[in-house]
Amino acid sequence: MRLVRYGRPGKEKPGLFDEEGRLRDLSGVITDIDASVLSDRALRKIAKIDYKTLPLVRGERRFGVPVKGTGKFIGIGMNYADHAAETGAPVPKEPIFFMKAITCLSGPDDPIVLPKGSKKTDWEVELGVVIGTRAQYVDEADALKYVAGYCVVNDVSEREYQFERGSQWDKGKGCDTFGPVGPFLVTKDEIFDVQDLDLYLELNGKRMQTGNTKNMVFTVAQIVSYVSRFMTLEPGDIICTGTPPGVGLGRTPQRFLKKGDKLRLGIAGLGEQQQEVVAYPKA
């Protein structure tokens, strides 16, 4: 299934896209797409609904983050060897992970707001993993059983804040609007091989990033298993799994986002995002 949350910020309703690509309203069946509907059992129940009985949603609409109530937004760093090389970093021997503030979550097509004083805001197309079942010390062989589905994430990053303001990456990762997610939560049964998905990102119509999840240093299963050793993963938690090469930091000359830039990014089978970059509003 391709599940979405559509509507104005804070007023989103649950929906799904049917086999003909039409948006249908799920609010008569479930309250929202949150932890209560992310288990395999709950998702199977939704999948059994005759979608033709669901109301069609017509007209223009905004999509929000496809999961409500995310408690943890976790990023994996340097998870593509060629991305590590372009930034001058070694390939990690164990997964590097950091936290993105949940206040940075935004809809897939909402504007990216440059923070006050930002000089090095960058882009990163990434595969997002949405946890469906509570996971603690899970084995790699069983790790994907704890996943509800997948989504597109733009791990927007302010590089000066990330690398030049001390040792913690978090301050460059969690600024408001730095976590566009969606449009879809695609349930895992729709994805034949999560380790063979094409990723891309364009800036103002020019291709900047091209990659495939087969080039990850650590697989999705390895990541879920590893992170669950250090913290309990709860339904609705999102893990973004690293980015392929082509970020602004790694280019010569370096290129960072500025007001008016337009991004287009996506992952095969998971949909596409489009964002315009805007300046922080003056008081």
Collect all residues with Cβ–Cβ distance below 8 Å to 253 and sequence separation of at least 6: none
What's the confidence (pLDDT) of residue 214?
Answer: 96
Other C-beta atoms within 10 Å of 264: how many?
A: 17
Domain locations in the chain as residue ranges: 2-53, 73-279
DSSP state of 266: E
pLDDT in tens, 12-63: 999 999 999 999 999 999 999 999 999 999 999 999 999 999 999 998 889 9
pLDDT in tens, 141-174: 999 999 999 999 999 999 999 888 877 788 899 9
Q: What's the rounded Cα separation, in Å, for the pair 32 and 15? A: 9
Q: Left (φ > 0), alpha (ψ -120 to 50) or beta: where does 208 sit?
A: alpha
What's the confidence (pLDDT) of residue 88?
Answer: 82
Predicted TM-score (pTM) of this structure: 0.96
CATH of domain 73-279: 3.90.850.10
In degrees, to the nearest 5, what angle opens at C-alpha 49 toward C-alphas 47 and 50? 120
pLDDT at 283 > cutoff 70: no
